[in-house]
Amino acid sequence: MTNLLHAYFKYSIIIITSFYVNSAMAWFFFIPGSLSSAISDAITGEEGFHCVSRTTQVGDRIQTGSGPGIVKSLSGESSRCATNLNKPIRALLIPAEGLPATVAKGADSKSPAATKASSNAQLELSDDWQQRPLQAGQDPKVIVLYAVNKTTNTALTLGTIKRSELGDVAVFAKTRQVGLAGNLNDAKLGSIESITVGQLPAWRYTVTGNSKRGNQSSWTYMVTIYEGRDEVIIVNTWTTSLNFELQQTEMHKIENGLTGIAPPNI
């Protein structure tokens, strides 16, 4: 009986510990992780234990370690999925055995708002990279991913635009470069290089300049724009200008590793 009571109090109650700080009593409430998560979910309405890609929809079949499941609901980007940059959406799955793929299509969806961008593009990033919420000025209708790497003092964004909304992508690349330069002081524009990444035509350039805000540090941006069949992808990696030479090889590796995009019809 003593062991049962010990287990009950260990996992079921909030442990209250008191400390004396500056001769005054302060109370600190420690909430077990599982209970804290449950409280948070009750407030936010989020649910599910799986992480899926941004393109996943309610009713889709998902293969899991315990077998196939069907997506019952989506709760948008969640801190529970923050370590998986390609699968940031929290989902509730139900067993798929014996059920058609359309079984959950009529269920209520908690998917992200339609104004948020989504893409099939994927980047291979090390565990040092962490996803961050979009900052002011980063358009959620374009930017799919914003991530930072504190180890290398590098950041990146991945954006997407429907191919049908653009004409000549080479001209678009020139326009984007000029637009980026306009946000910097004393900007220096590198030449635009026409390359091929996988089967995708792509254009790459650099822009270096001083920030117009904050401490006005000098930054160097490497941008690659990829032309796909259905979407044009924009990957922008940047770091301080003093750090650029050291990180340039890794930035090239990231931008050359883009996958998931169908090549344009030729």
For residue 193, the SS3 value is: strand
Q: Which two tokens stand for residue 111?
A: 């998917």
Tens place of pLDDT for every residue, the chain, 266 residues? Answer: 444 444 444 444 333 343 343 433 333 333 344 444 444 444 344 577 778 887 787 888 877 766 778 888 887 777 677 666 677 788 888 876 655 444 334 434 444 444 678 898 999 999 999 999 888 788 888 999 999 999 999 999 999 999 999 999 999 999 999 999 998 999 999 999 999 999 999 999 999 999 887 667 899 999 999 999 999 999 999 999 999 999 999 999 999 999 999 999 86
The residue among 117, 106, 111, 119 whose CA lies nearest residue 92 is: 111
Domains and CATH numbers, the chain: 43-95 (no CATH), 129-256 (3.40.1000.10)
Q: What are the counts of helices (DSSP H) followed by strands (DSSP E) for the chain?
A: 4, 14
